[in-house]
A and B are shown apart, each in its own frame.
Chain A
């Protein structure tokens, strides 16, 4: 799809050129177009602008703040040539097949463990499927095997269920009462 739109927008030379991206706290990032393209949202913007694209004036991102975008960029830099991720699930049980992460990705999430929610939101807005799914998997990994109390403490969630409601949830599930 990218090859035919807006003469030469997808050419290799263009990928090497820089583009300025402005986040909502007015920080400017100078990024190679090939790297910024990992985000489908930015890729669409570049394609829509086509010839009228003015690389120096920059692309505004009103929903992302600087510190998070910095982290996202780190991911994009590493994944600029990565193939699309495959989301697979068991046809009968709908259980999702977990992605295997590379050493670099493990290290990346270890570094930003406390910003997982922000990363997920930014990845969702910027449409970076790899980052979005991987972050969600990382969060699922943290929830897995924990008690409701631990989950609440971990994410700072208020407990608004009454004791009766909790008992009701337990009672209506056979496999929970073991």
Chain B
């Protein structure tokens, strides 16, 4: 088709452009083209700004947040990376810059599931294989995950003061990079939750995000109450897949029956909580009652919506782990109602159910689970 030359003489005469037709055309374009169209003339700029809420959004492949020695956010869009960090530690006579914003280009477009790696070499555990079993707690893992590169922080320097939570500039930049964007994946790596973070996150993004994957690798729950943490999982980030591994300072109520009854969790395709360390010391048992589990597992969507398609539910440490009869009930129910959207694969401690059939890889889950927790890792 001939689009290379800009048309005949008839096209070059000034035409009256009907507004609804122009908006209709804009709806076919991608955000990058729209940003170029904004520079055509005043009318087009105004049209695009006014119709922003109806026009296509840009798909951000990945948003990575960390609080490791600095408050850092990495946003990846196709092959473009925006790195931003604000200072967390301050010295007495600190006159260095307060924030850093780097932009770089990758050789090819980034695909989170394929290209993302944590500093320890782990990649995303998203599609859980049928023979998967929870890795035992490794006290040295955090050390392997630590030598990340920092944008601002200089190791070896002495700092006297520390910021408790992300400063305002952090949220301003978050709003700036995510304007008119849809975020596909969120990764929290070595991330300390605070009450204020959840509140500001929801406020900045005007009601939270719908994402495919929410992945937490070393999340620290010391400064967040169970209720706010639930709000983060249910309201701030509504994910299709929740994966949480290596959680620190967890209370039994951070992941409890109440959370299991929240709509975002019920609709999720998979929900996974690996080994966690307890805030109060000793062995942690998450507070999920057998009944809440059965309710969640047999959730079939409300009358007016399609039942969600659900694949995997796994919690390493919970009260139901020890209760065999509940799992037997679930297994029976699964085999009875084929059409309900039950989890196809359930893994609780050492007990596994794949499509209603009991598979027990480890006959004594308690023994496996006690040993590793004896060594608490050195925490930052």
> A residues touching B (Cβ–Cβ < 8 Å)?
89-90, 92-96, 98, 106, 110, 113-115, 117, 120-121, 124, 132-133, 136-137, 139-148, 150-161, 165-166, 169-170, 173-178
Q: Are A124 and B18 in contact (CB under 8 A)?
A: yes
Contacts A137-B28, A150-B6; is A177 near B17 (CB within 8 Å)? no
Interface secondary structure of A, over-half rule: helix
Q: Which residues of B contact A145 (CB under 8 A)?
A: 33
Contacts A93-B182, A117-B17; is A178 near B103 (CB within 8 Å)? yes
Name B12's contact: one of A120, A140, A156, A170 (CB within 8 Å): A156
Q: List 23 A-B contacts (CB under 8 A).
A: A92-B57, A92-B210, A93-B58, A93-B182, A94-B27, A94-B55, A98-B28, A114-B8, A115-B10, A117-B18, A121-B18, A124-B21, A139-B25, A140-B25, A140-B29, A141-B3, A143-B29, A145-B33, A146-B36, A147-B36, A157-B14, A157-B40, A175-B77
Q: Is B136 in contact with chain A by the CB < 8 A criterion?
A: no
Q: Are B6 and A177 in contact (CB under 8 A)?
A: no
B200-222 residues at the A interface, CB under 8 angstroms: 210
Q: Which residues of A contact B12 (CB under 8 A)?
A: 153, 156
Query: Whole-angstrom distance between the alpha carbons of A177 and B36 in the complex?
Result: 11
The listed residue with most B CB atoms (<10 A of its CB), out of A89, A132, A156, is A156
* Distance of B283 from chain A, by nearest CB (Å): 40
> B residues touching A (Cβ–Cβ < 8 Å)?
1-3, 6-8, 10-15, 17-18, 20-21, 24-33, 35-42, 44-45, 54-59, 77, 80, 82, 103, 105, 176-177, 179, 182, 210
Contacts A94-B54, A137-B28, A178-B105; is A155 near B17 (CB within 8 Å)? yes
Q: Which residues of A contact B176 (CB under 8 A)?
A: 174
Q: Which residue of B lies closest to A107 (CB)?
A: B1
Q: Which residues of B contact A157 (CB under 8 A)?
A: 14, 17, 40-41, 44
Name B32's contact: one of A120, A141, A174, A175 (CB within 8 Å): A175
Q: Which residues of B contact A121 (CB under 8 A)?
A: 18, 21
Contacts A124-B18, A146-B36, A156-B15; is A114 near B56 (CB within 8 Å)? no
Q: Are A93 and B59 in contact (CB under 8 A)?
A: yes
* Distance of A71 from chain B, by nearest CB (Å): 14
* Distance of B3 from chain A, by nearest CB (Å): 5
Q: Which residues of A contact B59 (CB under 8 A)?
A: 93, 95
Contacts A114-B11, A145-B33, A175-B58; is A106 near B1 (CB within 8 Å)? yes
Q: Which residues of B contact A155 (CB under 8 A)?
A: 11, 15, 17
Q: Which residues of B contact A169 (CB under 8 A)?
A: 35, 38-39, 45
Q: Which residue of A lies closest to B31 (CB)?
A: A175
Query: Whole-angstrom distance between the alpha carbons of A15 and B85 in the complex?
Result: 69
Q: Are B41 and A156 in contact (CB under 8 A)?
A: no
Q: Which residues of B contact A110 (CB under 8 A)?
A: 1-2
Q: Which 4 A-B pairs have the closest CB atoms?
A: A140-B28, A148-B39, A154-B6, A95-B56
Q: Are A152 and B7 in contact (CB under 8 A)?
A: no
* Distance of A164 from chain B, by nearest CB (Å): 12
Query: Whole-angstrom distance between the alpha carbons of A152 and B15 in the complex?
Result: 11
Name A174's contact: one of B21, B28, B33, B177 (CB within 8 Å): B177
Name A153's contact: one of B1, B6, B58 (CB within 8 Å): B6
Q: Which residues of B contact A178 (CB under 8 A)?
A: 80, 103, 105
Q: Which residues of A contact B2 (CB under 8 A)?
A: 110, 113
The listed residue with most A CB atoms (<10 A of its CB), out of B24, B32, B42, B44, is B24
Contacts A92-B210, A143-B37, A145-B33; is A177 near B24 (CB within 8 Å)? no
